[in-house]
Amino acid sequence: MKKIAVMTSGGDAPGMNAAIRAVVRTAIYNNVQVAGIRRGYQGMIEGDIFNMDTTSVSNIIQRGGTILKTARSKEFMTPEGRKKAFEQLKKHEVDGLVLIGGDGTFKGAHAFFGEHSLPAVGIPGTIDNDIAGTDYSLGFDTAVNTAVDAIDKIRDTAEAHDRMFIVEVMGRDAGYIALNSGIACGAEDILVPEKDTDFKSILKRISNDKRRKKLVNIIVVAEGDDFGGAEAVKAKILEHFPRIDVRATILGHIQRGGSPSYFDRVQASRMGYAAVNTLLKGTSQVMIGLENQQIICTPFENAIKEHAPLDMDMLEMAKILSS
């Protein structure tokens, strides 16, 4: 293998730059050329590919986002688009790929490599932490810490005014950020996509809290919860308790940005290093993952079959500890 290319795809996640750095420098150490692909699969189709060296990744380990940019590509979802991408890779003499992204990235890779023969290894990079085949995906730790910091600040103002706050965090299909930030901040309720919301139970708890004169409540809701986001939950609560002072806060994309935590930087470095070495050993069409803090390889087809399951016992624990 003389030349590999690295790209980031889907939603950005803190730690992606640290992974890019590890890929580039590990490859060069092994006398392998490295190319960067800008804007994910769309950049691959358009031939937005450039050579990288060690200085290309200087001073990026601490930066959020991705220096390679990212984009979603409808064209890549078609056989014609994937053929264009393959032709561009061959034009740039790319012998192997390292793909950093989430579920959509690996689904695209599985379709691509079912049609065109090119070795590839994936690195899970998504704040949702919902990819099967790994205990952890890049960006999750930083995103949860960002949410925890914001919710802690919200609790300060909630206590100052005796208010209830509904805090919406990211998680369209997975409740990992909601669950972990909610437990860390002592939230009274945590609403996630994996479990139907029992609103009668929430209303009963609020009624009991009023009798106990507990005036401060924090409810953390994932954006993909079946009941709706923070505003929908707020409206429903006000229907039953119109005199409660309740506010909704949507944290939004601040959870994707910011300097990655030490954990994200270290694991990104480990995964990037492992991805290149896996390619050079001749193993392909796999995702690098962490299981019990050990590096493992999971075939793409297994990684995309289902989302990593949420630990429902933790939801029960959160309910008990907040009572």
DSSP 13: -
CA distances from 72 to 46, 126, 198 (A): 13, 14, 35
245 is in an annotated binding site: no
Around 116, how many Cα atoms within 13 Å sit in the side-chain half-sphere?
21
Give the total residue count for the chain.
323
43 is in an annotated binding site: no
Cα–Cα distance measured from residue 262 to residue 244, given in angstroms and rounded to the nearest whole number: 40
16 is in an annotated binding site: no
270 is in an annotated binding site: no
128 is in an annotated binding site: yes
Give the pairing of strands 49-52 and 33-37: antiparallel
Indicate the helix (H) or strand (E) that contains 34. Answer: strand 33-37
23 is in an annotated binding site: yes
171 is in an annotated binding site: yes
DSSP 198: -
CA 10 to chain centre: 9
Residue bearing tokens 């289902």? 306
User: Dihedral, CA atoms, 65, 116, 96, 259, nearest 10 degrees?
Assistant: 10
Tokens of 293: 């803090």
73 is in an annotated binding site: yes
Tokens of 220: 């953390």
Cα–Cα distance measured from residue 289 to residue 275, given in angstroms and rounded to the nearest whole number: 10
Please say whether the beta carbons of 130 and 117 come within 8 A: no
72 is in an annotated binding site: yes
Position 72, amino acid = R
110 is in an annotated binding site: no
126 is in an annotated binding site: yes
Tokens of 233: 């939950």
Around 244, how many Cα atoms within 13 Å sit in the side-chain half-sphere?
27
103 is in an annotated binding site: yes
Residues labelled catalytic: 128
DSSP 241: -
170 is in an annotated binding site: yes
214 is in an annotated binding site: yes
β-bridge partners, 246: 164
198 is in an annotated binding site: no
Cα–Cα distance measured from residue 195 to residue 275, given in angstroms and rounded to the nearest whole number: 35
21 is in an annotated binding site: yes
163 is in an annotated binding site: yes
36 is in an annotated binding site: no
Please enumerate, by residue number, every residue annotated as part of a binding site for ATP: 11, 72-73, 102-105
Please enumerate, by residue number, every residue annotated as part of a binding site for substrate: 126-128, 163, 170-172, 223, 247, 253-256
Please enumerate, by residue number, every residue annotated as part of a binding site for ADP: 21-25, 155, 186-188, 212, 214-216
Please enumerate, by residue number, every residue annotated as part of a binding site: 11, 21-25, 72-73, 102-105, 126-128, 155, 163, 170-172, 186-188, 212, 214-216, 223, 247, 253-256
Please enumerate, by residue number, every residue annotated as part of a binding site for Mg(2+): 103
